[in-house]
Structure 1
Amino acid sequence: MSKPSYPENWHDIDIGLYSRSVKIFNQVRKLLSVKMKLHTADQVEKGDIFLFNHFSRFETFIPQFLIYEKTGAYCCAIASGEFFREDNVLSRYLSNVGCFPHNHPRLFQLLAAQILRGRKVIIFPEGGMVKDHRVMDVKGHYSVYSRLTGERRKHHTGAAVLAQGLEIFKEMIRTAYQEKNHAQLVRWKEQLELDSLDQLLTSALKPTLIIPSNITFYPIRTSENLLLTSVELFSGGLSMRQTEELLVEGNIIFRNTDMDIRMGMPVNPQQDWSWSTKALQDLVAAELTSLDDIFTMPLAPKNWKHKLLGSLLKSSSNMTRNRYMEEIYANVTINLSHLASTLIMHCIENSLLLIERQRFYNALYIGVKKLQTNTAIHLHRSLLNPNYYRNLNIGTNQSFEHFINIAKLSDLIVEEGEYYRFLPKLLEEHDFDLIRLENLIAVYNNEAEPIAAVSKTMIEALAECDRLDPEELAGWRFEDEQMDLKWELHKYTKPVYEDINDHETATEDPSPFLLQPVEENGIGVLLIHGLLASPAEMKGYGVHLMHQGYTVMGVRLKGHGSSPYALRDQSWEDWYTSVVNGFEILKLHCRKIVVTGFSTGGALALKLASENRPDILGVSVAAVPLKFINPTFMLIPFLHGTNKFVDWVSSYEGVKPFLENVSEHPRVNYRNVPVRCLYELRLLIQHMDEFLPKIEIPVLIVHGDHDPVVSVKSASEIMQKIKAPDRQLKILKSNRHGIIMENIDGMWKINDDFIIHCASETKAAEFSRIE
């Protein structure tokens, strides 16, 4: 095969075209569903050579433009020589935006010159797409499959060779400065097209740093897509390779996909040089005069020193290559599909072909919680946000359903009653171009394999399923509630929400709380705050109960304690889910529980009590809303409907998305009320007619006689709708709504007595059964 005919030098970057390309890239990125997140500290500023794993064709240009956005530095990249065989629109475009053919005879010299000019270089050391993501052999060494030879090979050392050559040239520059060889310095400045000798020296004083980086896509989808359908209309048939690439890569672009680009620790190639290499380099540098001399020396040595140095540099380049490849694969962004695939492959490789579905989910949840404490592993944000993984421990997880469905459709897993059966296809060999379609579980497992802690953690998690300490589980679930608030604050305290947030007055800690006494009496109390408030509303009474020996859980209703905008995005079912989560946590600490709710929290407490949960001894509620002092509240459903209509027909958010709230407790409550939440409260009130008659356990209903918010008539109506024989109604002397928070007219004592009554009634029932 004849060598390609390229000009000795290459096209310089067309700054105007490059800038226009970045703008178009940003516009296209907004239209697509791909969410690109660049994780970097100062690596993107300090780095010269950036390495990326090569998963699909679509990420080839992305790093260039992202680095430019972050630093303002122009980036060059290596592209396959096949794109430059003909002089056409594509080849000219690639040339003008900094792409160099991989088979240019002076490739290293050209790229080194670009770096010395202050530009950055992007290299894909795998040399091609690694579709199976298998990068480790049976001995644990890094290698990849070569499509050309059909065998596995080592990764390319090009980045290491380029960096080493640059270090030698920089030493030559520094030596010339020391020896005041002005003529040589001027020649180099002109050859490199630099503005000044100071720019030449500055580049020589900076170490050449390689930045290993990893691009992780999540999820990997393999279903039919628009791109495949469109191409099939105009083609006479697609090859296996083309079909696979369009199916997988088309879904990356056309459907919601996260692209995490994570930069690892910088690699300095000089760290792999021995003392003999450094000493010989000093000797040889005096005999070299250009970048061409440096990069041709290993191929055509002029003397024994050149030959020996070339041999030493080859050895050190392999060491550097091993270091940066290890760092690339250590920076995979681990997601739930990685954990599940690792667990599945461990099971089938150890002949565990049948596993109870709940046990499988429990192992995943345990694995997530254990990995959250491992700071050396990079977890996808879905494994740090409880909203995405929280329901694993109860066997339901919406974000995980796609993975299971693909596994079923691919004949990798079948469901048999309450069990998953892992099928032999999981261990079959698949064609390189089909594995992402045929066995996505193997692909995910291969991608996570270099991170040994993932496999170790998942194996331990499976072993711990049957002996997990309930209090440890409770601790994890309570931690999830705390993390949920942090994520809510992170999302809803951004500048876009300042128009409402800046007027908020709440300063009390809105965190959920779990209070455990020194000497426990075996009974737990679940406290549920009211609308617009936070757990801080119930904290005082919670501490009072703890001192009496009760274990107390104060739940945070979703959307509370962060921003009115957060509350605007929740439904009453979301609030109730928070209550159930809190109850499940407390249940792991106490066998018997009394539920106490205030206002809207009272309505949710009654809902919980109606579900015939044997752990609940009784339920007490205060100031539950059924009828309101302000009759205009009845117009809220209409107002919310108007908002939805306006939101649909215009870019504005609605006629009046928030109403001002004059609160009794401004340090706890929101000042602005989302109309949506009042609408949701109305829906909850309507639902009460359905669940109140189902309550069979003891009930205490308390209300202030002059409550300024909720009419006292609400209490008597609720009393009539509940059919439980053991029910009490207490009307307190109060012109305030917050009777629990302020302990008005002996409210705490009344509730204390009710809890004691529930406990004694239970003990009496248990005693009669024994008799």
Structure 2
Amino acid sequence: MNRSAYLTTGLAIKALSRLSKANIVIHGEENIPAHPTIFVINHFTRLETLLLPASIYNLTDVPVWSLADASLFKGGLEKFFDLVGVVSTADPKRDELIVKSLLNGEANWIIFPEGRMVKTKKIISKGKFMIDSPGGVHEPHTGAAALALRAELYRRYLLSLAEENSPKLHPILEYLGFETADDIVRRATRIVPVNLTYYPIRAIENIASSMAEKLVRDLSERMVEEIMTEGTMLLSGVDLDMRFGPAIEIEKLLDPEWLRKAGEEKALHGYTVSGELKKKMRGTAYNVMQQYMRDIYAMTTVNHEHLFASFLRICPFERIKERDFRRRVFFAASLIRDRGVEDHDFYLHKSMEESQIHLLTDDRFSKYENFIQLAEEKGVVQRKNGCLFRDGTKLSIPLNYHQGRIDNPIEIMANEVEPLGRLQKLIRSFAWQPDFLLKILLVRYLLEKERQRYRRVCSSRDPGEGRRFGCLGKPFLLPAFRRRKGIVLVHSYLSVPEEVKALAVWLRRKGYWVYAPRLPGHGTSPEDLAARKYQEWLDSVERGYAIMDSVCDRVIVGGVAVGGSLALSLAVRIKEVAGVFAVCPPRTLKDYSTKFMPSLDVWDRMLNRLKGEGEQQFLDFTYGNSHVNYGKNPVAGVHQVGEFLDSMKKKYDAIAQPALIIQADENPVVDPAGARTLYDKLGSRKKEYCLLSFNRHVLVEGEDSHRVHRKISDFIEMI
């Protein structure tokens, strides 16, 4: 390695890392010690040899050198490696360089304990860490542990000689290339386990492979595979979670007998130890290796690909209903999120830390669709009539070492989380769960989570006005005997689920299951509502849909006022919704009268003031039913209503389900003309607009509300 060129070439490494579109997220930076350190890291791509030294150097301000497989040192790459601090495993001075730099603190090291890239990510065999390679299966190398122990043995021995003013010290220091004992840093050696998890894993044709084919004739299978996989990661972008675990304190593992042996003649020769001493240290090195291997893979960052791939492999059936498959993955992902965020049982990709309801509803982040498309391309599954037909052989046959990342990335995804025993147990339990039992457990889980959310927000805030709602603010489920149709009923803005209770009871008597979700910020306090975003309301309605979808064959959604608009939004995004109805829905914020909000010019001034002051502001709301409505209307809440309605303006024509719009001809809060315009924009072939003679806004409770109830139940019966 050319040390003199290392520092200047570091600039080139940094430039290369900037060219990469990889989004590197650092976790556990606090675990990096200010000690001479060997970072032991799982090895999947050649990129790690180039990008990791710069990333770790940025965190430590200490040069980082790395050890790489000798087979990589060919042609121009060998010269480049020589410049950037990469040492070949075949270098005769390898051990001397590592031990000496750990003694004087000149550099930290990166060592890959697997010995080479584990392209198949297969590192578990019969419960043990075993590395899959072209030459066969072998245990991880103990080299990092052995070198750390050796460096610390030398450090303790030399420092003890210095304390004793032993005449042996100077000749040994001179032989080792040190001038005085002050060149030996007092801080002990550490080994820090590091896990790298890439997401997503994709291997597709890219600009890098095209360039390589023009520059190099007769590319080997191995080179084509690496360019396609790693070029995709470099040029197309990938999330790379780099997670540092707690350091292993090597000095605590030294046996006092080793120090006594070190003083014997010929026990230490240069930077090597005698065969007898090496034999005594071998068992400890093996145990340290097992410890850091467990630590490395326990820190795997779980993502959606892991779950989908693992379920496909473990599932006992060749035919799987897509909705059943998504339901199982959703349930597992939700429990994993609970345990990862709340109990820290798992490390999660950022996309796993938020609500997973999209897996059951509209797949708006394309987690499911992207995975299934890849699985189809690789022949792992076929899709027919809402079912997946799994080719089990593609998930069990040994992978070609050099082609596996291209031919079968699904198996590699599943392999990566194989060491996570608790995760495997959880996935296996869901994969084998009978469908009917899974649905029961899922509904119980979702209902309990809704109750927990309400209890949590009520206990974390001064309930104020919300105290008077009592149990009226809780979501409720009304079961029926038949499971043919289920209804999701959404209350209006500023109200609570109790608002739709009379309609829910009517529909239950007609034989339908009914669930009324609570929109976040409601049934608690106006201050709580002021802090909410409309996306939270959408999520709540989606969770309600997921509950009904797990119980009933068909699901109809509907609501009052803004609740009706939220129901229409769900119908836009989830084509499986069987029908939708909305009672007095607003189309835009302009449809509201001054009973709900001030005139638009005053409203604009209030919004500007809200942005400038950053304080909560409230409007008096005296028109509503004091039994279920807030008496104060937060300006921030009205703004969210406006944002939501604006987001829906161009989406109504996407609603293809049967639809019913009900409006009051003398609605004092919302202009009836807006509901008619909304109706005209619906894309449904079967749609109905019903204008009833009422002089109030909320029609589902109060005098003559049975007329509205009957109209809605007749509509549902026709679906």
Normalised by the size of structure 2, how large is the TM-score?
0.73
Query: 1:64 matched to which residue of 2?
Result: 53
- The Cα offsets for residues 310-359 of structure 1, whole Å up to 9 and x where unpaired, read as 22211221222222222222222222222222222223xx5x32222222
Matched, 1:236 2:229: no
Partner Cα separation in structure 2 for residue 167 and residue 664 of structure 1: 70
Distance 1:246 1:755, change over 3 A: farther
> Which of 521, 526, 545 is 1:584 aligned to?
545
* Contact 2:191-2:249 within 8 A present in 1 as well: yes
Distance 1:82 1:697, change over 3 A: closer
Partner Cα separation in structure 1 for residue 67 and residue 154 of structure 2: 21
Matched, 1:162 2:147: yes
Matched, 1:141 2:128: yes
Question: In the TM superposition, what is the alpha-carbon distance from 1:27 to its structure 2 partner?
Answer: 3.0
Matched, 1:670 2:636: yes
Letter in 2 for 1:581: E
Query: 2:706 matched to which residue of 1?
Result: 757
SS in structure 2 at match of 1:51: strand
* Contact 1:623-1:702 within 8 A present in 2 as well: no
Matched, 1:297 2:274: yes
Question: In the TM superposition, what is the alpha-carbon distance from 1:556 to its structure 2 partner?
Answer: 5.3
* Contact 2:66-2:111 within 8 A present in 1 as well: yes
- For residues 167-566 of structure 1, the aligned pairs below 5 Å read 167-181=152-166, 184=169, 188=173, 200=184, 203-204=185-186, 206-269=187-250, 278-287=255-264, 292-293=269-270, 295-298=272-275, 307=276, 309-347=277-315, 350=316, 352-374=317-339, 375-386=344-355, 390-392=358-360, 398-423=366-391, 424-464=393-433, 465-470=435-440, 472-473=442-443, 475-476=445-446, 515-516=473-474, 525-529=489-493, 537-538=494-495, 541-542=496-497, 552-555=516-519
- The Cα offsets for residues 678-720 of structure 1, whole Å up to 9 and x where unpaired, read as 697457457669989975476557744xx7xx76875798899
* Contact 1:225-1:247 within 8 A present in 2 as well: yes
Question: In the TM superposition, what is the alpha-carbon distance from 1:57 to its structure 2 partner?
Answer: 0.7
Percent identity, please.
20
Question: In the TM superposition, what is the alpha-carbon distance from 1:563 to its structure 2 partner?
Answer: 13
Letter in 2 for 1:67: I
* Contact 1:222-1:248 within 8 A present in 2 as well: yes
Question: In the TM superposition, what is the alpha-carbon distance from 1:581 to its structure 2 partner?
Answer: 1.0
* Contact 2:491-2:500 within 8 A present in 1 as well: no
Question: In the TM superposition, what is the alpha-carbon distance from 1:633 to its structure 2 partner?
Answer: 7.9
- Where structure 2 has 5 or more consecutive residues not aligned to the other structure, the ranges are 457-463, 481-486, 506-514, 602-610, 621-631, 682-686
Aligned residue pair count: 644
Question: In the TM superposition, what is the alpha-carbon distance from 1:602 to its structure 2 partner?
Answer: 5.2
Distance 1:461 1:12, change over 3 A: same
Matched, 1:121 2:76: no
- The Cα offsets for residues 51-104 of structure 1, whole Å up to 9 and x where unpaired, read as 111111111122211111112121111134466688x7x555533433223223
Distance 1:562 1:80, change over 3 A: farther
Question: In the TM superposition, what is the alpha-carbon distance from 1:172 to its structure 2 partner?
Answer: 0.9
Partner Cα separation in structure 1 for residue 633 and residue 178 of structure 2: 64
Distance 1:519 1:237, change over 3 A: closer
Letter in 1 for 2:46: R
* Contact 2:520-2:532 within 8 A present in 1 as well: no
Query: 1:727 matched to which residue of 2?
Result: 692
Partner Cα separation in structure 1 for residue 387 and residue 13 of structure 2: 50
Partner Cα separation in structure 2 for residue 555 and residue 187 of structure 1: 75
Letter in 2 for 1:98: G
Distance 1:729 1:130, change over 3 A: same
Query: 1:38 matched to which residue of 2?
Result: 26
Distance 1:345 1:480, change over 3 A: farther
Partner Cα separation in structure 1 for residue 56 and residue 426 of structure 2: 34
- Where structure 1 has 5 or more consecutive residues not aligned to the other structure, the ranges are 1-9, 299-306, 487-506, 530-536, 635-657, 733-746
Letter in 2 for 1:753: G
SS in structure 1 at match of 2:122: coil
* Contact 1:38-1:262 within 8 A present in 2 as well: yes
Matched, 1:97 2:84: yes
* Contact 1:386-1:480 within 8 A present in 2 as well: no
Partner Cα separation in structure 2 for residue 690 and residue 101 of structure 1: 60
SS in structure 2 at match of 1:753: coil
Letter in 2 for 1:371: I
Distance 1:207 1:544, change over 3 A: farther
Partner Cα separation in structure 1 for residue 472 and residue 97 of structure 2: 63
Letter in 1 for 2:322: R
Q: In terms of mean alpha carbon deviation, does 123-132 or 691-700 score higher?
A: 691-700
Q: CA RMSD in A?
A: 5.2
Matched, 1:28 2:19: yes
Question: In the TM superposition, what is the alpha-carbon distance from 1:215 to its structure 2 partner?
Answer: 1.5
Question: In the TM superposition, what is the alpha-carbon distance from 1:421 to its structure 2 partner?
Answer: 1.6
SS in structure 2 at match of 1:327: helix
Q: In terms of mean alpha carbon deviation, does 756-765 or 316-325 score higher?
A: 756-765
Query: 1:496 matched to which residue of 2?
Result: none
SS in structure 1 at match of 2:218: coil
SS in structure 2 at match of 1:77: strand
* Contact 1:131-1:436 within 8 A present in 2 as well: yes
SS in structure 1 at match of 2:413: helix
Partner Cα separation in structure 2 for residue 461 and residue 578 of structure 1: 24
SS in structure 1 at match of 2:157: helix
